[in-house]
Amino acid sequence: MNPSFWAGKRVFLTGHTGFKGGWLALWLQRMGAEVHGYSLEPPTTPNLFSIAQVGKAMSHQIGDIRDLAAMSAALKAFAPDVVFHLAAQPIVRESYAIPVETYETNVMGTVNLLEAVRGTPSVRATVIITSDKCYENREVIWPYREYDAMGGHDPYSSSKGAAEIVTAAYGRSYFSPEMGKGSVSSVRAGNVIGGGDWAKDRLMADLMRGLMAGEDVIIRRPHSVRPWQHVLEPLSGYLEVAEHLCVAGPLAWEGWNFGPEEDSNRTVAQFAELTCQLWGNPGALKIQPDPNAVHEAGLLKLDSTKAKVHLHWRPRWDFEACIARTVEWYRAFKDGADMREVTLQQIAAYERGHSK
């Protein structure tokens, strides 16, 4: 990734009030991009958007991606060079309770964004962020590659698979190289952690809530294996994809995986144990498997060979480093630090390649 590429670029970012969107907005600001955010109000209290003053050096508006007319007007008014689409209903367990809203947001919201981009001539690159759960997960031991089948057992996972199919169809129908209308790609990441995530039913968020309150922390699926990675890892990949589309484009649609190295594919129990240990309270962890829990994937891995070969992308922080950085962030928050500065410092450390 070339930070100087982003200086002065106009970037439209949906989901800037969320966890990943907030980190991406701050990183773009740090590199000198002109950022405009379009999103609902922050989804939790507390939240990264408020704590890290994400809106301080960008323009933004509250808007619903299900409203095509409003989003189209916002895009045309800002006339961006690059669009990142992160706005979504992001929780697996929540999707069981609100399936209609999940599909409306994750599928039709993606349709609306792509349709709005189609009517905005300034856009050179559009990056649609989905999830590693977009794949038809057969609980196999090998990692999924970009050409594997889309699918999903639950409403959330299937909505992300559907969003991938929508993106591919729009890319092939309206953004092919011969049309000269800019390029579209989709990107998929592993289980992302980092400071500022307070979402319901996310492991790190649940652990931090309990640890900061001095309470026991309970995990329900200790043996599930996930591709854990710090939020900055996939964000660096998203930025590289967008730069690639701008520099080499217009290009045909394609998907990209951004997952951790094999050693970071660990169980929930291993993740929780190290988090509690680094916080200084290993005795807080309680393992209580829930036999009545809704279905969630037990084994899920991503193959990022394509990004490594064609974009020269590499993960920089291993399993221990990504948890240590995250614990460091929450400890700084608990101690009353300037969290915008703490977040920007972690971005700077990542850029330098420092793991400690």
* Res. 296 pLDDT band, cuts 50 70 90: low
Predicted model pTM: 0.95
| 180-226 pLDDT tens trace | 789 999 999 988 999 999 998 889 999 999 999 999 988 888 888 88
Residues 217/206, Cβ–Cβ less than 8 Å:
yes
> Please, which residues bridge with residue 316 across strands?
none
Q: What percent of the chain has pLDDT over 90?
A: 82
d(CA 12, CA 74): 9
d(CA 111, CA 128): 11
Amino acid type, 199? A
| 131-169 pLDDT tens trace | 999 999 887 778 999 999 999 889 999 999 999 999 999
| 298-316 pLDDT tens trace | 677 899 999 999 999 999 9
pLDDT exceeds cutoff 70 at 63: yes
pLDDT exceeds cutoff 70 at 291: no
In the 8-state DSSP scheme, what is residue 6? G
- Residues in CB range of 279: below 8 A, 6 or more apart: 211, 327, 331
- Confidence at residue 354, expressed as pLDDT on a 0 to 100 scale: 55
- Length of the chain equals 356
pLDDT exceeds cutoff 70 at 82: yes
Helix, strand, coil shares, percent, the chain, to 5: 45, 15, 35
Residues 123/81, Cβ–Cβ less than 8 Å:
yes
3-class secondary-structure state, position 231: coil
In the 8-state DSSP scheme, what is residue 179? G
Report the half-sphere exposure of 338 (CA within 13 A, side-chain side): 4
- Confidence at residue 178, expressed as pLDDT on a 0 to 100 scale: 87
User: Does the domain at residues 3-292+300-352 carry the CATH identifier 3.40.50.720?
Assistant: yes
pLDDT exceeds cutoff 90 at 179: no
* Res. 292 pLDDT band, cuts 50 70 90: low
d(CA 15, CA 21): 5
Number of H helices, E strands in the chain: 13, 12
Domain residue ranges in the chain: 3-292+300-352
- Confidence at residue 356, expressed as pLDDT on a 0 to 100 scale: 43
- Confidence at residue 355, expressed as pLDDT on a 0 to 100 scale: 45
Bigger pLDDT: 15 vs 92: 15
pLDDT exceeds cutoff 70 at 175: yes
| 101-111 pLDDT tens trace | 999 999 999 99
The full 3-state SS of 278-347, as one line of letters, equals HHCCHHHEEECCCCCCCCCCCECCECCHHHHHHCCCCCCCCHHHHHHHHHHHHHHHHCCCCHHHHHHHHH
- Confidence at residue 294, expressed as pLDDT on a 0 to 100 scale: 66
Bigger pLDDT: 283 vs 9: 9
d(CA 155, CA 93): 9
| 220-275 pLDDT tens trace | 888 888 889 999 999 999 999 999 999 998 999 999 999 999 999 899 999 999 99
| 320-355 pLDDT tens trace | 999 999 999 999 999 999 999 999 999 999 999 854
Residues 76/46, Cβ–Cβ less than 8 Å:
no
- Confidence at residue 297, expressed as pLDDT on a 0 to 100 scale: 61
